[in-house]
Structure 1
Amino acid sequence: MASLLAGCTPWPEEFVDRYWAAGHWRGYTLDNLMRDWARRYGTRTALVHSDARLTYAALNRRVERMAAGFRLRGPRSGQRVVLQLPNVPESVVSLFALIRAGLVPVVCPVSYRAPAISHLVRVTQAVGYVGPSTYRGFDHTAMVADIAAQGPFLRRVFTLEAPGAGSPCGGLTTDPSGCQHSPLGSIDAPPDAPLAQGADQVAFLLPSGDTGAAPLLVPRTHDDYAYQVRAAAESVSLTEDDVYLAVPSVESTFTLGGPGIVGTLSVGGTVVLVEDAGPVVCLPVIGRERVTVTSVTPAVARHWLDVLPTMEADVSSLRLVQIGGAPVDRATAERMAATWGCRPQQVFGRPEGPLTLTRRADPDETVFTTHGRPLSPDDEIRVVDAHGRDVPDGEPGELLVRGPYTPRGYYRAPEHNARVFTADGRLRTGDLARRTPDGDLVVTGRLADGV
C-alpha cells in the first residue's frame, strides 16, 4: 500500500492478502465502476431530483466533462477538495468527477459551518471547495471566502448557483485573498485521457460519526468502499428494478453506501434525491417514483407514521425500509411493519465501520430488537469491559472491530489513533453493545466519555 495517501494508516500486508484471497477486494476503483455502470445501464434512469432525470450514460458524460474541467482549473492529482452539497444531482456528479480527476473529496454535511469547514481545510490542506452559493438562508460563499483569507491552502471555490442566479462573464471572480470563485456549472471541458489510479488509494475522506467543530476524518479506499457497497447491495437483494430514496444527507453511512446511492447505482437501479426528510415531501415521492427502498432515522420513521393517515400517499411499493442512526424502540419497528407492509431492516453503521444489519430471513424478534450481524464474514467483532476483557453474551460492553472496510486509522490523527486503536488493529468504537446468544448485536448508545 505504498500509494496510500500520506497521513493514512495502511492495512498490514497480512490482512491485505487475506481480503484479496477472500474476494472482498478486487482492484476496482470507483471510477472504473462508474464507467462500467454507464456501459451496462446506459439508457436506464440513474438519478431523479424533482422533475430532473439523468440516465447512466448522461451521468457518466457529466462526470467526464466536469473532471476535465476540474483539472483545467488547477487542482493537482492527490490534492484534497472539500465537497459540501445537499442531496442534489450535482453532489453525485461532483463526487465522481473529483475522483476521476485524481482529487480526494472531503465529503461533509451541508450543515457544517465555519468552525468545522475551517478545521477540515487546515487538516487536509484542501485547495478547493465545492458547495452551494447560498442554501436555506446561509451564505456559503461568504463563509468560504473568510476561510480562504485566513490560510494559504484554499484557492479554488466552485459554487452551485441558486436557481435563477446569473453568472456574468463565465462567473470566474477573484476575492481579495486571491481565491478564485467559479460557478460549478461552468466546470466543463472536453474529456481528456483518464488518469491511472490504484484501487488501494484513498477514494475520499468522510467525517467520523462524532460531531463537533473539529471532526475526525475517515479515509476510505476504492477497494474497501467498493466491497462495502457490493456486500450491502447483496445483503438486501438489490436489483435494477429497485428505486432508492436518499433521505439522510449524502455523506451519511446510510445514504452513500449502506447500500445507498453507490450500491443502487452498482446494480442499475434508480436513486431519487430529496432535500427534505419531512413526510409532506417524501411520502408523495414514494408513490410517484414507486420507491422500493429507503433509509430513515427512528425520528423520521415516527413522523412519517404519524402523518401518513392524514395524507393520500401510496407507499405500497416499499419493500425495505432501513432504520438506523439511533436505537429504535420495538413499538416503532412493529408499527412500521404493520403500516407499510414490509418489515424494517435495523442497521448500525459508522463511517469508519462496522456495518451490521438484520436479514430478510431473520425472525421478527431479531428484526425488532437487534441490529443484526456484521456485513462481512471477515468483520472481527469483540465486546469488552473497561479492562479490555471479552464480556459474556448478553452483557454490555464497548464494541471493538476490525475488518475489510474498517480503516486502521483516522486521517492525520496519530495521537488519537494511538488511543482508539488496539495493538492488534481493532477500532475502539466508543459504542455500547451486547451480543445475543444467536450472535446478533444490540447497540444501545455511546460510552459516557466517548472515544
Structure 2
Amino acid sequence: MLDFDGFPEEFARRYREAGYWRGETLGELLRRWAAAPEPRVAIVDDEQRRWTYAELDAWADRLAAGFRALGIDRGDPVVVQLPNSAAFAAVSIALFRLGAPPVFALPNHRRNEIVYLCEAAEAVAYVIPDVHQGFDYRPLAAEVAGRVKTVEHVLVDGDPGEATALRDVEAEPCPLPGPDPADVAFFLLSGGTTGLPKLIPRTHDDYAYQLRATAEGLRHDENSTYLAALPIAHNAALGCPGLLGTLLVGGKVVLPPSPSPDDCFDLIEEEAVTLVTLMPPLVLMWLESAGFYDVDFSRLLIQVGSARFAPEVARRIYSELGATLTHWFGMAEGLLTFTRLDDPLDVIIHTQGRPLCPDDELRVVDDRDRDVPAGAIGELLTRGPYTLRGYYRVPEHNAKAFTADGFLRTGDLVRFTPEGNMVVEGRIKDVINRGGEKVSAGEVEDLLITHPAVREVAVVAMPDKLLGERTCAWVVPRGEAPGLEALRSFLRSQGLADYKLPDRLELTDGFPHTKVGKVDKAELREQVAARVTG
C-alpha cells in the first residue's frame, strides 16, 4: 500500500460535511451513462473511431480484471505513458476501479524521467504505446524494466514486441475490492522548471469534487463536446473538466492528433465542439490561421490556462473568432480560479477570476509570510478541499513547500481586485531585481506581445556586475525582426517606466519548453547568462 497521509481528519470531516466530498470513486464515472437505454458516444479518437459509453465501460472492466490477474492490486502504482487515445481513458478507469493509482507520464518523457517516476512511485507496471510520433517506446520500456526492480510488467497498446500486448491482458470482468474514496486515485506531476517533477497525489474524494465543480462552473453537461487539444495527462485537459469531467457528465470527448488548426478546425465544425482548453501560444496559432478556414466558432468556449494571458490577445478571441473566453489559473497541485461565463468582459480579459470552491483558502503574503495590504502584490498561499497537503515521499521538500498549518506556497505573485478577482502578476522568479527596482516580467511581456513584429516573447533576468540583474527580452519575430531601440520606444509610448525597459534583445525561432509544455525560462536565463558572461 501507498505511504500516504492524506488530508488531516479535521479538514476531511469539514469537506465531507460541506458536501464537497461525497464518497465517490473515479472508477464509477462511466456507469450511469453506460447503462442508459440509448447508446451515447463517449470518445471520438484521432482515427475517427467512435466509442460509446457502454463500450468504454466494458473495456475498462476487462482491463481491470486482467490487471488483477497479473497481480496488480489496490495501492500498486502503474506508470502510464499513453498519448491522447481511447486506450488512455480505458486504462486509467480500469486502474481507478482496481485502486491501483496511475502515474501519468507525458508522451515526451524519456529515460531519465521514466526511471525516476518508476523508482519514486515504486511502480509495478509501465504502460506504453508501441510507436507515437515516430518514437518507438518499446526499447525505452525494456531499459526501464531492466533498471527498476519493482517494474514487473510492460504493457503495450499496439504491437508489443518482446513485451505484453494490452489487448492480451483483458479478462472476464470479476468483482474487485476497489479503493476507498480517501485513497490516492492517481499521481500528477509538478510543473517546476528545474530538476525532476514531484509526484502529486490526488485522491478520489478531491478529484471527484474538482470534476463536478468545474463542469458545473462552465455549464458543461451531456450536451457538450470537449476537444482535447492538450495532452490529457495534464491536469488542465484531464479534469478541469477535461476528459474525465466530460465523461462524468455524459458529454463527448474528441481526441485530435495534435492541437494544430489543420487537425482541430474541421473537428470543431463536424463534432459541434463546445469547449477546448488552450495555452496562450496555441491561441495565437489559432488566431493567425482562422482566416484560412471556414469554421463557425460561435458556439465555442475557449478555456485559457497559464499564469498570464495578454489582454490584447484575449480580446481577439471575441473580435476575430467570435468565440468566448474563460480565463483560468490552475495547478496540478489543486487550486483553480477562473472567470465565470456571466462575468463582464473586462473581468474575463484582465483577471483570472475567483476560486472554484467557497472553502478554498487563499493568502497573499510578503517574503516573511505576513499578509500584504488589500490589493497589494504578494506570494499566493492556498489550501482547500482539492489541494494536496504534501508531495509524495519528499518530506524535506514539503517542509519548504508548505507552511506549518498546511498552506501550499505556490511561488506565484498575485493581487486581488476590490471585487475579489485574482490577477496573476508572474512567478517569484519572474521578478527582475534591477539595482533594487523590481521589474515584473509579465508586465513587460503583456505590452511587447502587442507589437506587430512580435509573435512570442519571454522576458528574463540576466546577470549584471553593476546592478545585479538586468532585463533581457527574448522574441520570436513576426516578419522582419524588430530592433531593441524600436521595442524600447514602443514600450515608452505605452507608458512603461524607463527602468522596466529591456536592456537586451535576443531573437530566436522558438522557445525551449519544460516537460509539461511551459516556456523554459530557466533555460533562457542560462543561455543569456552564458552570452553576457562568456
- Could you tell me how far 1:396 is from its partner in structure 2? 1.6
Unaligned regions of 5+ residues in structure 2, if any? 432-534
Report if the CA contact (8 A) 1:384-1:390 is conserved: yes
Segment of structure 1 superposing worse, 231-240 or 437-446 = 437-446
Identical pairs, percent? 44
> Residue 313 of structure 2 corresponds to which residue in structure 1?
332
User: Relative to structure 2, which stretch is displaced further, 35-44 or 114-123?
Assistant: 35-44
Does the alignment pair 1:442 with 2:442?
no
Q: TM-score, normalized by length of structure 2?
A: 0.78
Residue 160 of structure 1: aligned partner: 157
Using the TM superposition, give the Cα deviation of residue 210 of structure 1 relative to its aligned residue in structure 2, in angstroms. 1.9
Which amino acid is 1:313 matched to?
V
Letter in 1 for 2:70: R
Aligned-partner residue type, residue 146 of structure 1 = E
The equivalences for 1:7-406 within 5 A come to: 7-40=3-36, 43-49=39-45, 50-161=47-158, 165=159, 173=162, 181-211=163-193, 214-318=196-300, 320-406=301-387
Work out the CA distance in 2 between the residues paired with 1:327 and 1:448.
Answer: 14
Check the 8 A contact 1:284/1:314 in 2, yes or no.
no
Report the alpha carbon displacement of residue 365 of structure 1 after superposing the two structures with TM.
1.1
| Counterpart Cα distance in 2 of 1:250 and 1:420 | 26
Cα distance change, pair 41–429 in 1 and its aligned pair in 2 (3 A):
farther
Provide closer, same or farther for how the CA distance between residues 196 and 153 of structure 1 changes in structure 2, counting only shifts above 3 A.
closer
**1:263, distance to aligned residue in structure 2 (A):** 1.2
CA contact (8 A) 2:416 2:423 kept: yes
Amino acid at match of 2:8: P
Query: Comparing 418-427 with 147-156, which one deviates more in the overlay?
Result: 147-156
Distance across 2 between alignment mates of 1:100 and 1:77: 9
TM-score (norm 1): 0.92
Confirm or deny: 8 A CA contact 2:377 2:413 kept in the other structure. yes
Q: Which moved more, 1:57-66 or 1:141-150?
A: 141-150
CA distance in 1, matches of 2:164, 2:366: 52
Q: After superposition, give the CA deviation of every residue in 1:209-258 in whole Å (9 maximum; x if it has no partner).
A: 22555210110110000001101011011121110001111121210110
Contact 2:97/2:178, CA 8 A, preserved across alignment: no
Distance 1:152 1:314 in 2: 53
The alignment covers a number of residue pairs equal to 430
| C-alpha deviation, 1:34, in angstroms | 2.6
Which has more radius of gyration? 2
Of structures 1 and 2, the one scoring higher in RCO (CA 8 A, sep 6+) is 1
Moved more, 290-299 or 385-394: 385-394
Q: Could you report, residue by residue, the CA deviation over 1:80-132 in whole angstroms, capped at 9, with x for unpaired residues?
A: 10011111111111100112223110012111111111101111111101111
Helix, strand or coil at the partner of 1:6: coil
CA contact (8 A) 2:299 2:323 kept: no
**AA aligned opposite 1:249:** P
Counterpart of 2:27, as a letter, is D
CA distance in 2, matches of 1:428, 1:65: 42
Counterpart for residue 177 of structure 1: none
1:42-73 alpha-carbon deviations (Å, 9 max, x no partner): 61111011320011111100000111111122
Aligned-pair distance for 1:431?
1.3
Q: Does structure 1 retain, via aligned residues, the 8 Å contact 2:145–2:154?
A: no
Q: Distance in 2 between matches of 1:442 and 1:197?
A: 38
SS at match of 1:118: helix
CA distance in 2, matches of 1:306, 1:326: 22
How far 1:9 moved relative to its partner?
A: 3.3
TM-superposed CA distance for 1:342, in Å, is: 3.1
